[in-house]
Amino acid sequence: MSVFRIFVPCDASALSMGAERVAEAVAGLAKARKAEIALVRNGSRGLFWLEPMVEVETPEGRIAFGPVTPQAVGEIFDAAMAPNRAHPLYLGPTEEIPYLKRQQRLTFARCGIVDPLSLEDYRAHGGYRGLERALGMDGAAIVEEVTQSGLRGRGGAGFPTGIKWQTVLKTTAAQKYIVCNADEGDSGTFADRMLMEGDPFVLIEGMTIAGIAVGATEGYVYIRSEYPHAYRQMQRAVGIAREAGHLGPNLLDSGKTFELHIRLGAGAYICGEETSLLESLEGKRGMIRYKPPLPAISGLFGKPTVINNVVSLASVPIILDKGAAHYRDFGMGRSRGTLPIQLAGNVKRGGLIETAFGLTLRQLIEDFGGGTATGRPLRAVQVGGPLGAYFPASLLDLPLDYEAFAAEKGMVGHGGVVVFDDTVDLARQARFAMEFCAIESCGKCTPCRIGSIRGVEVIDRIIADQERDKNLLLLDDLCTTMLDGSLCALGGLTPLPVQSALKHFPQDFDRPAGRIAAE
């Protein structure tokens, strides 16, 4: 009898729906039936409404079942062996599931497919080809390749990655650093977490290429403490890569050195801001720094530093492997390549959708997402995290593109899309935006530190119908001050959700007092 590989994800979201118990049931079944089963703990494919999604390897390819309970494991095993595979949880060949089939997975090409901690598996699926090619190039050529790909920072700001690297390359210093920003704090986002849990070597490879390109021999991954699974997985993967000579001195016999350290944040949203993150890595309060100097010139410990988001760095291996043109050929306008979109909130089929830029919100929410989870009409969508704009249903034909979103006074950000049904109260969401800013402000600049607190108070008065017109004017003025006067994006972008709520949902700010329960 041949060995069957059964895949049960170890992704934190899959675990949150009981994947661990399913994995135990699979192991127990294998023992009871004396079947030769190899249990693989893969990452998630990102079809979260189907988690725990179990896959079985068959001669015709992988087939999927989900959402699987521990009790159903025996039946699924039988169904997988049966010719017709009839079972209510049977989803068909995994790659044929429309949600997956319609995607263009470049950065997430391996996520959910490979054993995340197997270097052999990683290599068998194209891993380390990018680094091997990079090792035959000089730094400037690698940077040029990344520049030509059109890759822009996927953390939220959308700054061209190649230009950042170029600055670090040009700056001479005895020590340079590569820092990965894995402080994925935006609500509605989980792409970084999925990659670190499901394909950690791609991030390690991307950072190694960055190090070789700009002449940095050390790197840090700063992971938020809300992601304990990702933190442990990255630590294991770095250990494995180091052991196998893929990290450290003379990596892959190239004569080059790159060492990688994994660090844990401590629950501060502001540390997703790059200079604040650097302060935190240095062991200080996460207060943002004045710019200039740019981190590319004076970053971690005062040295030239490349600081990029997880998805940006993880997109580098495929760019080096397949060439800049391959990546650039996806996308629209000045938004090149693919964007891993995270569909979340009140949506039937939430998950990870990686596709070329240009998909509209409607295609995303209706075709992929299947509408709201509650079945009620959609009323608002927040794109780009807590600092992103709220859009009404009438703007659903907006394509996901950096410039198209900016034109509507919104932002793509890190690609998080949060859906709300018609029970949402946008005055309360606006209030929350200010409250969140007040809680998470580092306190360095006044518009953010004080402005956010005053913002909560002003919105409270608007909701309570106290001199509403006067307070609406005041709120507008306050938003302008925060927008123009804040040092970083936290204070500077908090007006985005507030003003978009005011613009698109004015009726929510114009209700008789008392209609909304005070809190």
Partner 1 sequence: MSSPSPWNAETAAVLIAEHRALPGALLPMLHALQEEFGYIDQAAVPLLADALNLSRAEIHGVITFYHDFRREPRGRHVVKLCRAESCQSMGADRLVAHAKGRLGVDFHHTTKDGRFTLEQVFCLGNCALSPAVMIDGELHGRVDEAGFDRLLQETGKSK
Interface residue list for partner 1 (CB under 8 A): 12-13, 15-17, 48-49, 51, 184-190, 193, 225-229, 263-269, 280-287, 301, 342-347, 350-351, 373, 382, 386, 416, 418-421, 424, 429, 432, 436, 439-440, 442, 519
CB of 506 vs partner 1, minimal distance in Å: 20
CB of 347 vs partner 1, minimal distance in Å: 8
DSSP-derived letter for residue 94 is G
Q: Which residue number, 48 or 77, has a Cβ lying nearer to partner 1?
A: 48
DSSP 18-44: THHHHHHHHHHHHHHTT--EEEE----
211 φ/ψ sector (left φ>0, alpha ψ -120 to 50, else beta): alpha
Report the candidate in 509, 390, 389, 515 with the shortest Cα–Cα distance to residue 461.
509
CB of 215 vs partner 1, minimal distance in Å: 19
Q: Which residue number, 281 or 313, has a Cβ lying nearer to partner 1?
A: 281
CB of 280 vs partner 1, minimal distance in Å: 7
- CB-CB contact of 454 with 439 (8 Å): no
Q: Which residue number, 42 or 372, has a Cβ lying nearer to partner 1?
A: 372
Q: Which residue number, 161 or 363, has a Cβ lying nearer to partner 1?
A: 363
- Please name the amino acid found at residue 83: P
CB of 228 vs partner 1, minimal distance in Å: 5
**What residues form DSSP beta bridges with 386?**
none
Q: Give CA–CA dist 418/182, Å, rounded.
A: 20
- Please name the amino acid found at residue 170: K
CB of 66 vs partner 1, minimal distance in Å: 13
Q: Which residue number, 29 or 271, has a Cβ lying nearer to partner 1?
A: 271
Q: Give CA–CA dist 336/330, Å, rounded.
A: 6
Q: Which residues contact 283 (CB under 8 A, 6 or more apart)?
A: none
Q: How far is CA 309 from CA 162, 444, 476, in A?
A: 13, 24, 32
Q: Which residue number, 133 or 428, has a Cβ lying nearer to partner 1?
A: 428
CB of 436 vs partner 1, minimal distance in Å: 7
Q: Which residues of 328-359 are buried (b: 16+ CB within 10 A; e: fewer)?
A: eebbbeebbbbbbbbbbbbbbbbbbbbbbbbb
CB of 190 vs partner 1, minimal distance in Å: 4
- CB-CB contact of 438 with 386 (8 Å): no
Handedness of CA 331, 333, 336, 338 (dihedral sign): negative
Q: Which residue number, 5 or 263, has a Cβ lying nearer to partner 1?
A: 263
Q: Which residue number, 206 or 350, has a Cβ lying nearer to partner 1?
A: 350
Report the candidate in 31, 56, 30 with the shortest Cα–Cα distance to residue 42.
56
CB of 104 vs partner 1, minimal distance in Å: 20
- CB-CB contact of 230 with 12 (8 Å): yes
Residue 52: cis peptide before it, omega within 30 degrees of 0: yes
Q: Which residue number, 368 or 509, has a Cβ lying nearer to partner 1?
A: 368
